[in-house]
Amino acid sequence: MLKKLSLILLLSISSNAQAQNLEEFTVKNIHFHMGVIAAFAEVVYLDVKQIGLSEMFTAEEATKWEPVVKHIAERNGVLYYRESEFMVTDLFDGTRSDGLTLFVIYKGDTLEKYNALKKRKADYIAANGYDKQAKREIATGFGKLLDYSDVVIDQLIEKNGT
């Protein structure tokens, strides 16, 4: 259990530091990004997290590195989904995902849960009902899929909410 917690702490520190820096994905640093995906694959496989998200890639970079992501997922007994229409919520700065692609690491029915949440958000928008309460509901639901604590969800919504 201590090993799992150490891995999660390392992931959150590393990926959070990277998330603050919109660097180019080059051969020089791609090993780090694939390592993060591998770590997420392991914690998803071990049921520590329901879902893991890679950093954002251009479509070209995602195509280039997708075979590696596929290999990592297969090796770890999980699935991946190439997401080019990332569900923006009040958890994250929405401008970071504009026109970009990421990989969702999951297993079981988690992708269906994610897509159901995306549909619920789209339904709110279509009905002109994506108000503050609906935004919070969708962001909280996504935070729960990411296995964030209530405290972290509230902090992220406060920081990034509109």
CA angle 48, 140, 6 (to 5 degrees): 25
DSSP 8-state secondary structure symbol assigned to residue 84: S
Taking the CA atoms of residue 110, residue 79, residue 104 and residue 34 in that order, the dihedral angle to the nearest 10 degrees is 150
Distance, in Å, from the CA atom of 124 to the CA atom of 126, rounded to the nearest integer, reads 6
Q: Record the tokens describing residue 14, joined without a space.
A: 């590393």
Distance, in Å, from the CA atom of 132 to the CA atom of 134, rounded to the nearest integer, reads 6
For residue 10, give its domain range: 2-160
Res 145: pLDDT = 96
Are the CB atoms for 13 and 57 separated by under 8 Å?
no
Are the CB atoms for 27 and 21 separated by under 8 Å?
no
Res 15: pLDDT = 45
Distance, in Å, from the CA atom of 152 to the CA atom of 155, rounded to the nearest integer, reads 5
Least confident piece of the model among 68-77, 85-94, 101-110, 145-154: 85-94
Q: Kindly state the percentage of the chain with pLDDT values over 70.
A: 83
Please determine, for residue 85, whether its predicted confidence score (pLDDT) is greater than 90: yes
Domain count, the chain: 1
Res 2: pLDDT = 47
Confidence label for 32 from pLDDT (cuts 50, 70 and 90): confident
Taking the CA atoms of residue 101, residue 105, residue 109 and residue 111 in that order, the dihedral angle to the nearest 10 degrees is -10
Per the model's pLDDT, the better-predicted residue between 73 and 9 turns out to be 73
Please determine, for residue 29, whether its predicted confidence score (pLDDT) is greater than 90: no
**Averaged pLDDT for residues 133-152:** 96
Per the model's pLDDT, the better-predicted residue between 11 and 111 turns out to be 111
Phi first, then psi: give them for residue 155, nearest 5 degrees.
-65, -45
Res 3: pLDDT = 53
